[in-house]
Amino acid sequence: MLNRILPFFLFIWICLVIIGAFLYAPLAEGLGELTRVLYFHVPTAWVTVLAFLTGAVFSVLYLKSKSIKYDYYAESASQLGFVFCILATITGSIWAKMSWGSFWNWDPRETSVFILLLIYAAYFALRSAVEQEDKKAALSAVYSILAFVTVPFFVFIVPRVYTSLHPDPLVNPEGEIHMDAKMLTVFLSSLAGFTVLFIWMIRIKMNLVLIHLKLKEMEN
Amino acid sequence: MRTGSFESMVDAFYIFKKDLIQEFKTRYALNAIILFAVVTLTAVSFSIGVISADDDILCAMFWIILFFSSMSGLSHIFVREEETHTADTLKLVTCPTAVYLGKLLFNFMLLLALEIILVPLYFGLMDFYVRHLPLFLIVLAIGSVGLAGGGTIVAAIIAKASSRGALFTVLSFPVLLPLLISGISATRIAVNARSFTEASAELQTLTAYGVVVITVSILLFEFIWNE
């Protein structure tokens, strides 16, 4: 039941977010039309991190249980994360062009998103290099956990050591959010919408994995 | 199999000794890593030529040479065990933690050997003058621990994958980049003759990185090794 209503509800929700971002939310001072990219850039970046976390959690579960389905789940999370990571990079790059004058200038935040792309690429390269299924699962699970442990260095430490032009992420040192009520409504709705979108997408992928495993079992 | 923490330390040392003896029979890893460094250094020095590069670029170049040279040698330690099919025997006699620590120690020594050759050559050829030498050496030492830690665990992954050499750099680079970034930055501070306190953020990052990566590697190594 929920599975049928959810996509419909999600569609309307995301539509409202898009309308809200372009028509309802006021523009921030000094940023002008650029404000609008915020409602899509931050949620995609957030979903990237969420997908990365999900992938690492599934990897841990695989290593603990050695049940192959968790490996497929981890792969699914990474595939989705990769897509959202590309979206976050592109929206961020548009922001950078408009606000700092160039599409890419190795700001610490840009470096960290680029590293995430590299990690995903390396993860998929590793998966393609190993043929044996359980070996592939174990090696890529270890790599994904290892990569997950080093990412905080990019996200939290490197931008602290090196000055970044990037506006503070959700939690800034003062612990407050500089947005007016209307902007905040659209922003949080978009964040929620994208999170549910990710959950919906990964649920579809997880069901596919289960069907795939079932088919394989039947073949044997 | 001995699994106690003291015994695994002793075993780790034995594995290190075994690898050292084995290495000096052929000197394959040592030759590969040092010659790679010399070749890269020559290429860099030759292409820059008489134009003197400024210190900021030289610091970055130094770490790039160090990174890529280590990539040419660090994976050898596990690949050798797989190629000679000795990994299974090792599995029988000792626990994974001992193997990881022994190999880590060997790779760390390999990096130190590389640095003993590379640093004087780099200073001489590139006209690289470090005003705060103790800071530079400490950065190098802590950096090598992290580099060896990250390199060793990725080497273990690579040795089990079918395409060995090609993937090592690809897999290591994203994992080792925090180390490279803070290493380069700390070296810049050392070059400009500043104090230890100014490099404290970088030193903390380097140390934290080494500790985190080695701890996680010890926890995860078992899953690769017994695969």
Query: To which H or E segment does residue A208 belong?
Result: helix A181-219
3-state SS of chain B is: CECCHHHHHHHHHHHHHHHHHHHHHHCHHHHHHHHHHHHHHHHHHHHHCCCCCCHHHHHHHHHHHHHHHHHHHCCHHHHHHHHCCCHHHHHHHECHHHHHHHHHHHHHHHHHHHHHHHHHHHHHHHCCCCCCHHHHHHHHHHHHHHHHHHHHHHHHHHHHCCCHHHHHHHHHHHHHHHHHHHHHHHHHHHHCCCCCHHHHHHHHHHHHHHHHHHHHHHHHHHHHHCC
Residue A42 falls within a domain, yes or no?
no
ipTM of this complex prediction, to 2 decimal places: 0.89
For A22-78, write each residue's pLDDT tens digit: 888 777 766 677 778 888 998 999 999 899 999 999 999 999 999 999 999 999 999
**Percentage with pLDDT > 90 across chain B:** 46
- Give Cα separations from B110 to A204, B60, B70, B172 (angstroms): 48, 21, 9, 17
pLDDT for residue A171 is more than 50: no
CA–CA separation, A165 and A171 (whole Å): 16
A153 interaction partners in chain B (CB closer than 8 Å): 178, 205, 208-209
CA–CA separation, B138 and B144 (whole Å): 10
pLDDT band at A172 (very low <50, low <70, confident <90, very high): very low
Residue A194 falls within a domain, yes or no?
yes
Task: Provide the pLDDT for residue A169.
Answer: 52
- State chain A's mean pLDDT as an integer: 85
Averaged pLDDT, B61-69? 93
CA–CA separation, B133 and B193 (whole Å): 9
**Percentage with pLDDT > 90 across chain A:** 48
pLDDT band at B187 (very low <50, low <70, confident <90, very high): very high
Which of B162, B174, B185 lies at the smallest CB-CB distance from A147?
Answer: B174
A134 interaction partners in chain B (CB closer than 8 Å): 227
**Shortest Cα distance from A135 to chain B (angstroms)?**
6
**Shortest Cα distance from A24 to chain B (angstroms)?**
41
Listed in sequence order, the residues at least 6 apart from A104 whose beta carbon sits closer than 8 Å to its beta carbon are A93, A96, A110
Task: Provide the pLDDT for residue A180.
Answer: 75
For B106-147, write each residue's pLDDT tens digit: 999 999 999 999 999 998 888 888 888 899 999 999 999 999
**Contact B175/A153, CB-based, under 8 Å?**
no
Which of A131, A138, A160 lies at the smallest CB-CB distance from B227?
Answer: A138
Listed in sequence order, the residues at least 6 apart from A159 whose beta carbon sits closer than 8 Å to its beta carbon are A108, A109, A112, A166
Identify the domain containing residue A91 by its residue range: 52-168+180-219
Which of A129, A149, A154 lies at the smallest CB-CB distance from B161?
Answer: A129
Task: Compute φ and ψ for A162, nearest 5 degrees.
Answer: -105, 135
CA–CA separation, B137 and B117 (whole Å): 14
Task: Compute φ and ψ for B2, nearest 5 degrees.
Answer: -100, 130
Taking one residue from A and the other from B, the number of pairs with CB-CB distance under 8 angstroms is 94
Residue A25 falls within a domain, yes or no?
no
Averaged pLDDT, A4-25? 88
**Contact B213/A150, CB-based, under 8 Å?**
yes
pLDDT for residue A176 is more than 60: no
**Contact A122/B162, CB-based, under 8 Å?**
no
B150 interaction partners in chain A (CB closer than 8 Å): 150
pLDDT band at A175 (very low <50, low <70, confident <90, very high): very low
State the first-to-last Cα distance of chain A, in angstroms, to the nearest integer: 33
Identify the domain containing residue B60 by its residue range: 5-225
- Number of domains into which chain A is organized: 1
Listed in sequence order, the residues at least 6 apart from A175 whose beta carbon sits closer than 8 Å to its beta carbon are none
- Is the pLDDT higher at A183 or at B4? A183
B213 and chain A: CB distance < 8 Å anywhere? yes
pLDDT band at A163 (very low <50, low <70, confident <90, very high): low
Q: Are B175 and A150 contacting, i.e. CB atoms less than 8 angstroms apart?
A: yes
pLDDT for residue B172 is more than 50: yes
**Contact B153/A146, CB-based, under 8 Å?**
yes
Query: To which H or E segment does residue A75 belong?
Result: helix A68-100
Positive or negative, the Cα torsion across B77, B83, B86, B90? positive
Number of other residues whose CB lies within 10 A of the CB of residue B27: 10
Task: Provide the pLDDT for residue A131.
Answer: 87
Task: Provide the pLDDT for residue A1.
Answer: 67
pLDDT for residue A173 is more than 60: no
B205 and chain A: CB distance < 8 Å anywhere? yes
B155 interaction partners in chain A (CB closer than 8 Å): none
pLDDT band at B1 (very low <50, low <70, confident <90, very high): low
Task: Provide the pLDDT for residue A143.
Answer: 94
Q: Which of B71, B79, B171, B176 to mutate to test the interface with A (most CBs of A within 10 A)?
A: B171
State the first-to-last Cα distance of chain B, in angstroms, to the nearest integer: 17
**Percentage with pLDDT > 70 across chain B:** 96
For B128-139, write each residue's pLDDT tens digit: 888 888 999 999
- Number of domains into which chain B is organized: 1
Which token pair is A66? 């050695």
For A72-130, write each residue's pLDDT tens digit: 999 999 999 999 999 999 998 988 888 788 888 888 778 888 888 999 999 999 999 88
Task: Provide the pLDDT for residue A83.
Answer: 95
Which of B160, B162, B220 lies at the smallest CB-CB distance from A146?
Answer: B220
Q: Are A105 and A97 contacting, i.e. CB atoms less than 8 angstroms apart?
A: no
Averaged pLDDT, B22-39? 89
Number of other residues whose CB lies within 10 A of the CB of residue B133: 11
